[in-house]
Amino acid sequence: MKLGINGSVREVTEDPDQTALSFLRREGMVGTKEGCASGDCGACTILVGREISGNISYQTRNACITPLNQLVHSHVVTVEGLADSGGLHPAQEAMLEKHASQCGFCTPGFVVSIAALVEAGEDSKREAVIEGISGNLCRCTGYAPIVSAGLCALRKKHRSSLKEKNLFARFKSDDAPRSEYARPLSETELQAGMRGSPDARLIAGGSDLMLEVTQGFRSIPCFIDLSMVRELRAINETDNQIQIGSSVTYSELEHYFEARSKPFLSILKRLGSRQIRNVGTIGGNLGNGSPIADVPPILLAWDATLELVDAHGNRRSVHVCEFYKGYKETQLQDREYIAKIRIPIKSMNDFHRFYKVSKRLEDDISSVMGAFRFESVGDEISLARVAFGGMAATPVRAMEIEKNLIGQRITNDLIRKVESQILEELEPISDVRASSRYRLEIAQAMLRRSLQEFSGQERLVITEL
Ligand SMILES: Cc1cc2nc3c(=O)[nH]c(=O)nc-3n(C[C@H](O)[C@H](O)[C@H](O)COP(=O)(O)OP(=O)(O)OC[C@H]3O[C@@H](n4cnc5c(N)ncnc54)[C@H](O)[C@@H]3O)c2cc1C
Ligand code: FES
Ligand code: FES
C-alpha cells in the first residue's frame, strides 16, 4: 500500500495490526514517542492529512493506537517533517521562545498538536489551545509555558507548505486491496467483505479495539475498516428525525451539534481528547458495549433507534433501550453491524441535560454519566427520561423514577423522593474510577440538578463537572 510520510510517497507492506507508532520508530522517526500505548498521553501524536471529496485536511491522532494500514493514501507528518526550507514551524519556534520544554519527552507530541492548530488557522485563543492540547500530558514543565507557546504560535505568520506537497494525486493509480485489511467504500463492498472474511474484526476509529493489541497483547490478523464506508459517514435530516451514520466521528458530531444541542456539544467536548475525537465514532461507542461509554445514556434519553444490518444486507431496527443485553453484551449478531443511529427531532427539541463526572476534566472516562429529558403540560411533568452510564452493567434508564415523575409538579418533596429512589433502583459497582456510594450520590445530585434546571429553580452548585 502507498502512503505519504513527511512529504515522500512510501510503499509499505505491514501486518494488519502493526501500529503506525511502531512502524515510524522502526523507520527512524523516533521523535514520535511511546508513553502509554493507550491513547492517553499524546507523546505519539502525528498529523494525518486526507483528501476526501477534493478537500484536504490535516488532523491529529495517536499513532500508538492507529493501525498503519488505516493510513493508506494519507499523508503522515511527524515532528521531523514540520520544519521546512523556511525554517522551524511556528509551533517549534514558540516552544523554544516560551521555554516550554524540560525533559522533552512530551514535547514532540505538544509540537504536533499545536502545529495542527496553526495549520487549521485557529485564532490565538486560550480555549482553542487548551482544547488542542487536551490529549497531551506533561509531567515536568507545567502547562502554563506550553499554553503560552500555543498562543504565541497562533500569533505567528505562517504559510503552510503541507497542502502544497499534494501527494494525494500520486496515490490514484494504486493499490491492490489487501484481504487482511479491507477498506470498503460502500455498504455493498462492506457486506461482501463480511461474507468473504467471517472472522475479520470490524474497526472504525480503533480507539477501543486497538487497546486489545497494545494493552492486551493480542494479535488481530484480519480487519474490515468501516471508516471510509460512504453511507456510514453521512448525517441526514428528515422532517422528524436525524440519521447519523455509525462511522461519523466525534469531531464531525461537534461540528453538526454546535447549533443543535448545547448539552450534547458540552459532552462531546469532554469526550476523550482532540486526537480521540478525530477518530472515535458513535458506532464504535455503541459497538464496544461498555457500560461507561458517554453516548449511550444520551441516546437512551433521546429515544434513539439503531439500524443493524447483516452481511446479506438484511436490516432491522432496534430501540437503544433493547440494544444492551448484559455487561459488554449487545444485540449485535455475528456478522452484523450498526449502520445508523436515528434520533427523533422532537426529542432534541424537548428540555434535555447531560452531565459527566470524571476524575479529570479532559481525556477521561466517566465515573458517572447522566442524561435527562423532560416535558410538561402546564406545570405537570408529562414525559421523563432518566438515563445513566456507570451505574450498572449496561447503560440504563431508571424507569421506576421516570414513572414516578409523570403527572407530578416539581417540588422539593418530589425531588427528595425520586433522589431516594436512586438508592433502590440502581446498584453501581465500586472500581478504580469511583466507589458505589460516590456513584449513587453523584447520580442523585445529577437528577436533582436536572429537575431544578427544568423547573427554572436556581441551579444547584455541585463541584464543577
Ligand atoms: C484515551 C482514550 C480516551 C477515551 N475517552 C472516552 C470518553 O471520554 N468517553 C467515551 O465514551 N469513550 C472514550 N474512549 C473510548 C473510545 O474512544 C470510544 O468508545 C469510541 O467511540 C470508540 O469508537 P471507535 O470508532 O474508535 O471504535 P473502534 O475501536 O473501532 O471499535 C470499538 C468496538 O466497536 C465495534 N464497532 C465499531 N464500529 C461498529 C459498527 N458500526 N457496528 C458494529 N460494531 C462496531 C468494533 O468491532 C469494536 O469491537 C476513550 C478511548 C481512549 C483510548
Ligand atoms: S503513547 Fe501515549 S498516547 Fe500514544
Ligand atoms: S517536558 Fe518532561 S514530560 Fe513534558
Task: Print the domain residue range for 82.
Answer: 2-168
Report the domain count for the chain: 3
Q: pLDDT (tens digit, 0 to 9) for every residue of the chain, 465 residues total?
A: 899 999 999 999 999 999 999 999 999 999 999 999 999 999 999 999 998 878 889 999 999 999 999 999 999 999 999 998 779 999 999 999 999 999 999 999 999 999 999 999 999 999 999 999 999 999 999 999 999 999 999 999 888 878 776 788 887 655 666 779 999 999 999 999 999 999 999 999 999 999 999 999 999 999 999 999 999 999 999 989 999 999 999 999 999 999 999 999 999 999 999 999 999 999 999 999 999 999 999 999 999 999 999 999 999 999 999 999 999 999 999 999 999 999 999 999 999 999 999 999 888 999 999 999 999 999 999 999 999 999 999 999 999 999 999 999 999 999 999 999 999 999 999 999 999 999 999 999 999 999 999 998 755 444 444
On whether residue 176 sits in a domain, the answer given is: no
| pTM of the predicted model as reported, rounded to 2 decimal places | 0.95
Is the distance from the beta carbon of residue 62 to the nearest atom of ligand 2 less than 6 Å?
Answer: yes
395: number of Cβ within 10 Å = 29
Where residue 220 sits, what CATH number does that domain have? 3.30.465.10
Best of 285, 309, 356 for a ligand 1 pocket test (most atoms within 8 Å of beta carbon): 285
For residues 360 and 328, state if they share a domain.
no
Residue from 41, 45, 99, 103 whose mutation best tests the ligand 3 pocket (most atoms within 8 A of CB):
103
Ligand 3 atom with minimal separation from the 102 CA = 1
Is any atom of ligand 2 closer than 6 Å to the C-beta of 64? yes
Residue 321 in domain: yes
**Both 19 and 148 in a single domain?**
yes
Phi-psi bin for 273: left (phi > 0), alpha (psi -120 to 50), beta? beta
CA distances from 339 to 60, 184, 224, 295, 304 (A): 26, 14, 14, 16, 13
Residue 210 lies in a domain: yes
The 10 Å Cβ neighbour count of residue 422 is 25
Does the residue 461 lie in any domain? no
Pairing of strands 351-357, 315-319: unpaired
- Burial class, 464, CB count within 10 angstroms (exposed 0-12 / middle 13-18 / buried 19+): exposed
Contact indicator for 75, 49 with CB cutoff of 8 Å: yes
Q: Are residues 120 and 137 in the same domain?
A: yes
- Residue 288 is given by DSSP the state T
* Residue 124 half-sphere exposure toward CB, CA atoms < 13 A: 13
Pocket test for ligand 1, best of 40, 288, 340, 355 (most atoms within 8 A of CB): 288
Evaluate whether residue 464 is within a structural domain.
Answer: no
For residue 17, which amino acid is it? D
In terms of domains, do 336 and 228 share one? Answer: yes
Query: Best of 19, 25, 40 to mutate for ligand 2, by most ligand atoms within 8 A of CB?
Result: 40
Whether 94 and 114 have beta carbons less than 8 Å apart is answered as: yes
Query: Are both 335 and 361 inside the same structural domain?
Result: no
Cα distance from N-terminal residue to C-terminal residue, the chain: 45
So what's the pLDDT on residue 159? 82
Q: Is 126 helix (H, G, I), strand (E, B) or coil?
A: helix
Q: In what helix (H) or strand (E) does residue 329 lie, and over which residues does it extend? A: strand 329-330
Q: How many CA atoms lie within 13 A of 398 on its CB side?
A: 32
Q: The domain spanning residue 420 has which CATH number?
A: 3.30.390.50
Residue nearest to atom 2 of ligand 3 (CA): 103
Residue 464 has what pLDDT? 41
Instruction: Using DSSP, state whether 429 is helix, strand or coil.
Output: coil
* CATH number of residue 53's parent domain: 3.10.20.30
Kindly state if the Cβ of 210 falls inside 6 Å of ligand 2.
no
447 Cβ closer than 6 Å to some ligand 1 atom: no
Q: Looking at the structure, tell me whether residues 30 and 151 fall in a common domain.
A: yes
282 C-alpha to center of ligand 1: Å? 8
In a domain, 259, yes or no: yes
| Pair 343, 361 in one domain | no
Report the C-alpha gap between 117 and 119 in whole angstroms: 5
Question: What is the grid cell recorded at 48?
Answer: 494525518
Q: Is residue 38 part of a domain?
A: yes
304 and 188 in one domain?
Answer: yes
Q: Does 319 share its domain with 414?
A: no
Same domain, yes or no: 425 and 395: yes
Last residue of a domain, one of 306, 324, 347: 347
pLDDT at 165: 67
pLDDT of residue 458: 57
**Same-domain pairing of 139 and 195:** no
- In short, whether 202's Cβ falls inside 6 Å of ligand 1 is yes
Paired strand residues for 3: 10
**For ligand 1, is residue 296 a contact (CB within 6 Å)?**
no
Are 137 and 106 in contact by the 8 Å Cβ rule? The answer is yes
Nearest to 44 by CA among 162, 117, 128, 135: 135
Q: Is the CB of 244 inside a 6 Å radius of any atom of ligand 3?
A: no
Q: Domain ends where: 168, 198, 224?
A: 168
Q: What is the pLDDT of residue 296?
A: 98
Compute the distance from residue 374 Cα to the ligand 3 centre, in Å: 46
Q: From the CB of 103, is ligand 3 less than 6 Å away?
A: yes
Domain boundary among 168, 203, 220: 168
Same domain flag for 107 and 195: no
Residue 282 lies in a domain: yes
